[in-house]
Structure 1
Amino acid sequence: MGRQTARTYIKYRKGSKVPEYDRDVPADVRHIVNKAKWKKSLRGLSLDAANAEARRLASEHDQIIAAARSKTPLPSHPLGTDAIDLAGGIGDLLQWFNRRAIDAAWLRQEAESMREFVASDGPSDEVPDPDWAASHTAALDAERHQINRQLARDAAHFRALGKTPDDLRKSRLHAAADVIEANPRDRDEITLGGVLEEWKTASKASATEQYEYPVKLFEELHGALPVKDITAVHVLEFRNALMKMPPASGGKFDGMTMQQIIQKAEAEGLKPLMASTSSKHFRCLKTIFAFALEDLFVTADVAAGIRFRGAKGKHAEAKKQKRRTFHPNEMKKLFAGAENHKWRDAEENIWFLRLLTWSGARPEELAQLSSDDLVKSAGHLCLDIHDLGENHSKNESSIRRVPVHPELLRLGFEDFVKAAGNQTYLFSTLKRDGRGRLYSAMQRRLSALIDGKVSKDPRLVPYSLRHGFKDALRLVPGYDREVAEMIMGHSNPRHQTGRGYGTEQIVVMAELLAKADPFDKRRVVSEFEEEEEQIAGTLDDLDGEVEG
């Protein structure tokens, strides 16, 4: 081998520019680790990304060495080792874990049956000798206890990887789910992903994707480190990397790590995320770090003193970061373009556009609708927006029934729903992206329509239609803000959730909604910030890069 960089164990073969992670396993632990060297090619990564990946591997291998030297048995699949790969992947390792859990349950049942048989009043020639039975059940119990000790140790690692009992039961790994449920997390080994799962359980948040995404990116950048080993420098490096991330809608980066996405963005000159979006991701991440301290997984919140700094620019540039609604004349151009557009899935696309225009619902809420979600309530046909099954909601207030606008009924919405039949979703061409969302493909279609038929103004986005409808509600004589918030699914101290909507609420919503016209010439263009998610436990930003 040729030269080697300090501490990261990156080496280059003689005459090659391809970096490799190359580290010798210390001689005193080779018999435990069962290998003499760790090697991994870092081909295709930029120098910064290769260094980050090498640091992640080095940290994981440091933990393995420390565990081996502590004279405590290494887990069967310690985080970061290639034992998962040797097992055929995490799925195969979980199958093995499930089989071992089944073995332990069978041993317990056999021992219990033997004890019951010995204590029975059966014929003497059939009941086993008590001494033999005692030694046999002792052997069964000893084997079961050995398996259970291993399962308890491994359960902590599976939970640290974010594997919950519900996830395992969905995969029909019921025995593994029972073991993980019965064994608490190892607080010394829990990762940020594991803390996220604990936060989800404690907070009972209904819309968790906004938190899962930045945690996923963080662990792609730094690896699944124990949260107690994460430093402020790790958080600072993540913040700086996040500012380089391009928009990932539409699944165009599916299967790529954060480092690979950034490298591709830099090579192709892709624009980064809007500052409001990347700032939101960072606040979500800080919420999980704050919870880690609150629940005593750590003794200090290493993210608390790190502030997100958006790129500074001129007023005109800052203005572009905002969104705006469509002018009524632009609405006409949009719908004329949609009617004449040569879409492959024209009917679905036009109906999605109509619903987004005349309902005020969020795009993802519409993407999740099925034919069963058109229900009659208080004499009105309503959209039933819920979080049942695989559906997700932003918060409790977004779970609601919204009367269908008369214009949608006039255009034949009921016929469109009937034609969908027993399809899982009304918009059957939409598939879940890497973040589990259905709207991504429709967002691309509508964005292309807006750019091609209306304007290339970056402030005009499909979401502008929702805000245009909100403005149209304000123009209705006798406008009631609280009723409008119920329609839009906004939080209100006196409106806890749409689950309890009764006849009165449906009727008043229907009255207001029926008079709202997004094509009303009186409606003027308004600007709005990208809708912020409600961040539980949002921290106050502190001055300085890293304080203390």
Structure 2
Amino acid sequence: MHMDIDVMSEEQIDALLEDKITLEILTEEQSASLMKRLNDRIAKAELMLLQSKLETQGMQLELQELQAVDSKLSAETRTAEAYDFLEKVKAEKEHAESIKVNATALLNALMNAQQVPNLVQPKEYPKDGDKPVSFHFAAFMKDRAKGDFARTTRLSFEKALATLSEVLGEKPISDVTRQDVAGILGKLDGQAGKHGRTDLKRGTVQKYLSHTKTFFAWAEGQGLVKENPAEKVTAPLESRKASSNVARLPYSPAQLKKVFAAPLFTGCKSEKFVFEPGTAKVRDGRFWIPILGLYTGLRLGELEQLRPNDVVKHEGHWCIDVNEQDTKTTKTDGSVRLVPVHGELMRLGFLDYVKQRKSQKTLFEVRDYSKFWNDRFLNIHGLKTEKLVFHSFRHTFSSWIRTLPNSEVKNRLMGHAPTTTGEMYGRILTAAEIQMFLNLEPVFDLSALYPLKG
């Protein structure tokens, strides 16, 4: 905060002393300048008081002498000049007394004001309390590791604390407030939009806040904070809502036919001009993401985060592992799941594509696919409506698996949070359940897109 204390007027200094908020954010240099100005005031007041005392004492001596002379004069012999001088001395004495009273009051006020700089002195912190929250993560994680700390839980904590660090920056841990912790909700809301999600379930926010509360409870035990600033922070009923609360519709068979007859899938002009018909066959993320959305029900954010090593073998079947490893995030705890790779994806050559991407960090090299699909693809091909978006593939998948006899299996495939105590156990599909899914007839015939053999 730019403020030159040295050139401020006395009136400005008075106003500053009344502004407690500004006093608390003064720099050390500004605080030192303010202290000097106050000390100068006190010194001047003391000098004025001393001068007042000396003048008063001198006048009192003169007055005593004149009163002695005056007492010897009769009323007839007292001159007008002597009377006038006596009255003048009395007035000077009264003025001196007034100066003395005012100077004393000023001195007392300034002596009280001398306590103000205590408010702007550098704050005293407990040991390492002046360090940001990120400084303490290693010690916290080390203490947590002494107990039952599963790898997935550790990764979940790391992501929650990383978000907290982004929100708080370099703010000392001892200064963190409840309002600061509540800021994590806004950060999560921003992440939801970035990954193309239209809502963020309460469970996700609760998980992050739970981890944050655990961290600050540890910090309180270490004496780094006086009280847990996250203790009374609660998640809203729904942290993010669809902007217009419009219910998304699944793609109809006619709409799917139009989607997969587009040049992007059947043949386009080039990799750059994928909306114009041609002979070029594009088989990158732009091609695969909608097909996987249709046959796996994965959310767009989950698809964008996939890595080649997320395609794994389980119970003898290829599956997509939706997890929270490294920097990946999921919508809720229930979102961590295995989704079998349907035979139609096999026939389309998905595993060959995965093999080609093995040396790459991500499975799909795409950026802002939500905009590509919702704003460009659907518009260009006359499919854009308020209720039809990329997320509609997930609704189509949900409708497709309704024929499965086991509701728990459907919830696991969709990545829904457990609805019963029994569902909390055995979230991974069994071989029989996987086979049940693989036996489903294709949701839509994509045989025209099969790679040529030969």
TM class by shorter chain equals: 0.5 to 0.7
Q: Give the match for residue 434 of structure 2.
A: 506
CA distance in 2, matches of 1:304, 1:404: 44
The one of 393, 406, 410 equivalent to 1:484 is 410
CA separation of 1:368 and 1:227: change in aligned 2, threshold 3 A: same
CA distance in 1, matches of 2:29, 2:430: 69
Encode CA deviations 1:370-401: one digit per residue, 9 max, x unaligned. Answer: 44444455554333444556655556654444
The one of 363, 369, 379 equivalent to 2:300 is 363
Give the letter for the 2:371 counterpart: R
Give the letter for the 1:347 counterpart: R
CA distance in 1, matches of 2:228, 2:433: 47
SS in structure 2 of the partner of residue 446 of structure 1: helix
Instruction: Tell me the CA shift for residue 249 of structure 1.
Output: 1.6
RMSD, aligned CA:
5.4
CA contact (8 A) 1:385 1:398 kept: yes
CA separation of 1:425 and 1:245: change in aligned 2, threshold 3 A: closer
CA contact (8 A) 1:205 1:395 kept: no
Q: Give the match for residue 172 of structure 1.
A: none
CA separation of 1:239 and 1:442: change in aligned 2, threshold 3 A: closer
Give the letter for the 2:194 counterpart: S
Q: Give the match for residue 259 of structure 2.
A: 334
CA separation of 1:420 and 1:215: change in aligned 2, threshold 3 A: closer
The one of 344, 367, 371 equivalent to 1:444 is 371
The one of 392, 397, 403 equivalent to 1:464 is 392
CA distance in 2, matches of 1:491, 1:451: 34
Instruction: Tell me the CA shift for residue 350 of structure 1.
Output: 0.6
CA separation of 1:456 and 1:243: change in aligned 2, threshold 3 A: farther
CA distance in 2, matches of 1:202, 1:303: 25
The one of 27, 33, 40 equivalent to 2:32 is 27
Instruction: Tell me the CA shift for residue 462 of structure 1.
Output: 2.3
CA contact (8 A) 1:377 1:506 kept: no
2:170 corresponds to 1:226: no
The one of 116, 125, 134 equivalent to 1:161 is 134
Q: Where does structure 1 lack aligned partners over 5 or more consecutive residues?
A: 11-19, 31-60, 80-156, 166-179, 186-197, 252-272, 431-439, 521-548
CA contact (8 A) 1:210 1:284 kept: no
Encode CA deviations 1:104-156: one digit per residue, 9 max, x unaligned. Answer: xxxxxxxxxxxxxxxxxxxxxxxxxxxxxxxxxxxxxxxxxxxxxxxxxxxxx
Give the letter for the 1:484 counterpart: K
Instruction: Tell me the CA shift for residue 411 of structure 1.
Output: 1.8
CA distance in 2, matches of 1:285, 1:21: 35
Q: Give the match for residue 381 of structure 1.
A: 318
2:177 corresponds to 1:249: no
Q: Report how many aligned residue pairs link the two structures.
A: 326
Q: What's the TM-score once normalised by structure 1's chain length?
A: 0.45
CA separation of 1:400 and 1:281: change in aligned 2, threshold 3 A: closer
CA contact (8 A) 1:325 1:467 kept: yes
SS in structure 1 of the partner of residue 389 of structure 2: coil
Give the letter for the 1:249 counterpart: K
CA separation of 1:443 and 1:228: change in aligned 2, threshold 3 A: same
CA separation of 1:454 and 1:406: change in aligned 2, threshold 3 A: farther
CA separation of 1:421 and 1:63: change in aligned 2, threshold 3 A: farther
CA distance in 2, matches of 1:246, 1:388: 17
CA separation of 1:371 and 1:518: change in aligned 2, threshold 3 A: same
Q: Give the match for residue 204 of structure 1.
A: 153
Instruction: Tell me the CA shift for residue 347 of structure 1.
Output: 1.8
CA separation of 1:211 and 1:347: change in aligned 2, threshold 3 A: same
CA distance in 1, matches of 2:438, 2:200: 33
Give the letter for the 2:443 counterpart: D
Encode CA deviations 1:325-357: one digit per residue, 9 max, x unaligned. Answer: 333333333333443666549422111221111
CA contact (8 A) 2:163 2:184 kept: no
Q: Give the match for residue 356 of structure 2.
A: 419
Deviates more, 1:375-384 or 1:459-468: 375-384
The one of 290, 298, 303 equivalent to 1:353 is 290
Encode CA deviations 1:253-286: one digit per residue, 9 max, x unaligned. Answer: xxxxxxxxxxxxxxxxxxxx96x54978865665
Encode CA deviations 1:162-205: one digit per residue, 9 max, x unaligned. Answer: 5544xxxxxxxxxxxxxx479979xxxxxxxxxxxx9x999926
CA distance in 1, matches of 2:445, 2:119: 63
Q: Give the match for residue 164 of structure 2.
A: 215
Whose helix proportion is higher, 1 or 2? 2
2:272 corresponds to 1:325: no
* Identity score, percent: 20
Larger Rg: 2
CA distance in 2, matches of 1:496, 1:280: 14
Instruction: Tell me the CA shift for residue 516 of structure 1.
Output: 5.3
Instruction: Tell me the CA shift for residue 473 of structure 1.
Output: 0.9
Q: What's the TM-score once normalised by structure 2's chain length?
A: 0.52
CA distance in 2, matches of 1:343, 1:406: 27
Instruction: Tell me the CA shift for residue 65 of structure 1.
Output: 0.8
SS in structure 2 of the partner of residue 408 of structure 1: helix
SS in structure 2 of the partner of residue 479 of structure 1: coil
CA distance in 1, matches of 2:188, 2:316: 50
Give the letter for the 2:134 counterpart: L
CA separation of 1:333 and 1:289: change in aligned 2, threshold 3 A: same
Instruction: Tell me the CA shift for residue 488 of structure 1.
Output: 2.7
CA separation of 1:503 and 1:414: change in aligned 2, threshold 3 A: same
SS in structure 1 of the partner of residue 339 of structure 2: strand
Q: Give the match for residue 114 of structure 2.
A: none
Instruction: Tell me the CA shift for residue 290 of structure 1.
Output: 5.0
SS in structure 1 of the partner of residue 122 of structure 2: helix
CA contact (8 A) 1:9 1:22 kept: no
